Amino acid sequence: MFILSSAMPEKSKKSLPILVAGCLIGIGAVTYWILTQQDRLTEIPVGANVVPQDALLTISVSTDEKQWQQLRQFGTVQTRAELEKNVTQLRDRFLTAYGYNYQQDVQPWIGKEAMIAFLPPEFNATNQNQAVLMILPIANQTAARKIWETPRLQQTKLISRNYKGTQIQETQSTGNANYSAAVLDQRFVVVSDNPQVTEKAIDTYQSGMSLAQIPGYTAAISKITQQNRFAQVYINIPAAVRVASTSPTPTAIPQGLARLQENQGLASTITIEPEGLRLRSISWLKPNSQRVHRVENSAGQMQRRLPAETLMMLSGGNFQQLWQDYTLTSQSNPLTPFPPENLRAGFKSLTGLDLDRDLLSWMNREFLIAVVPAPAQDAQQDFALSLVLMIETSDRAAANKSFQQLEQVLQSRYQFKTQETQLGNNTVTNWIAPFGTLTATRGWLDKNVAFIALGAPIADRLLPQPATNLSNTAEFQNTVPSELNPNNGQFFLNVNPTFKALPLPQFLPGQRTLLEATRAIGGTAAVSDERTIRYDIFVSLEKDESQIEGSKESNSSMATN
């Protein structure tokens, strides 16, 4: 049971943001699903018909010892230590404190995977820990019955009570929580440290109003299922947004969730591969949502325009549509970090131009944002990196007009100089700051793709198109998933050099430790239909072969302690 704790936080105020953040990065952030029918075990994780519909987050994890040994091959000393610490916390909370031992008391009867569900905070108003429900499938009924009917500590008094025809075994201890467990139809053991949570699980199982009945749940999970899965994660977006909106200290993660408030759910299946973790994910809208997705998958061509040494890249199919979606989802949302009206006002104040009319009106096709390092031989440059923006347009004349208007503002208001130069057969325009530093170059890569490079002068590596480009590097091909084709956008982050060259903002606790254990992250998104979007993510992890045997010994020691 305690082997599930790698995703288990300690304090209720911290657990949800940390878990959600881990699921969205890759961080991320993703969702894990559950069994509604016994004959569909290979598709849907066990326990979905026991979990209440208002659960904030569910995580189903394999109990296969081999998969856990494989997981422990990845990461650094710090990340492996953090994993073991979390395992110990859950073990102490649900087993050791009551005299139980996983290897002796749980492993003999547990099924192939088990689930943890995190309930809304109101369930644990007097308990500092997050309200948690664990659902453990029974593979050996005799062994399970024997364990749960026998208390392990003399000072622990075991009490049996009947709730709607189901026997609940509870302990009365001197601690903050009482251990509560019940067996449902000889199929599941449900465990919690809150009696109300156990009762609600029984109500859910008997009424059928469970997680499995949430609109779109079963159909969505069937699209991302994998038989060899290590874990599946499910985030209840409406419930998570509700909790985040009432938090006295909003963080970046709840703010990000709030932008997804039109979604019903976000789910992800996680598999372990030789070089890292692969996530097959899906999000779907509420059945009554006024918003629908535009089925448009037209990205994937711009990566070949970037040099091979590109550190980070984000592409999409339609920048104008992205802005419109952001504007729509930001309405009446107090957690939106950058309200559209503020962005419009700021752009107007800085440039005198109208963001929607003068800029976004022509940005109606594929776009790309990238970070490219300065050449190694240019160590004396003022900038070590260049931020590159590429925009494909159907109206080149409108784009040129916007650039000219912007350059007039730079010249008259900020004393910039503009200078046209030739790169081969192409004309580019340099924006030169008052102190003579070349700060930007803009031009056209062909008749309909405009680019701006801010920072280090790297235009000569974009024109002509590089023969060895990002899309044909081994790092990109091995990291960025290619199954979703056509797609609506991709993401690539070469973590090691980027982490060294660029101070990244703090998105989640322990971010530095996680990044040090990661080689690269790649993602691909595609719009499946008007209500669902698919995401594939691969996280390439550092791997220490010398830790393989040590991981096996650590796992065995952990189970017997």
pLDDT tens-place string over residues 499-511: 777 776 776 677 7
Average the pLDDT over 323-329 and give the result: 81
* Per-position b or e across 376-387, b if 16+ CB within 10 A of its CB: eeeeebebebbb
pTM of the model: 0.83
The letter for the amino acid at 475 is: E
Strands (E), 139-292: 157-163, 166-172, 180-184, 188-192, 231-236, 263-273, 276-285
Pairing of strands 157-163, 518-527: unpaired
Residue 324 has pLDDT above 90, yes or no: no
Rounded Cα–Cα distance for residues 159 and 163 (Å): 13
Range name among 23-37, 97-111, 183-197, 225-239 with the lowest pLDDT average: 23-37
Q: How many CB atoms lie within 10 A of CB 300?
A: 22
Q: What per-residue confidence (pLDDT) applies to 515?
A: 85
Q: What per-residue confidence (pLDDT) applies to 547?
A: 55
Q: What per-residue confidence (pLDDT) applies to 118?
A: 92
What letter would DSSP give residue 244? H
User: Which among 272, 127, 151, 133 is positioned nearest to 203, based on CA atoms?
Assistant: 133
Rounded Cα–Cα distance for residues 308 and 472 (Å): 8
Q: What per-residue confidence (pLDDT) applies to 204?
A: 96
Phi, psi of 368 (to 5 degrees): -150, 140
Rounded Cα–Cα distance for residues 362 and 319 (Å): 9
For the CA atoms of 398, 404, 409, 415, the dihedral, rounded to the nearest 10 degrees, stands at: 160
The CA-to-CA distance between both ends of the chain, in Å, stands at 14
**DSSP secondary structure string for all residues of 274-297:** TTEEEEEEEEEE-TT-S-------
Per the listing, tokens 């422990």 go with 72
Residue 476 has pLDDT above 90, yes or no: yes
Pairing of strands 438-444, 426-432: antiparallel
494's CB contacts (< 8 A; 6+ apart) are 310, 311, 312, 475, 519, 520
What are the distances in angstroms from CA 556 to CA 80, 101, 311, 560, 561?
15, 12, 40, 6, 9
Q: Provide the pLDDT confidence category of residue 110 given band limits of 50, 70 and 90.
A: very high
pLDDT tens-place string over residues 218-247: 899 999 998 889 999 999 988 887 777 776
User: Which among 357, 359, 368 is positioned nearest to 392, based on CA atoms?
Assistant: 368
Q: Provide the pLDDT confidence category of residue 290 given band limits of 50, 70 and 90.
A: confident
pLDDT tens-place string over residues 39-50: 333 456 789 999
User: Which among 54, 409, 429, 306 is positioned nearest to 204, based on CA atoms?
Assistant: 54
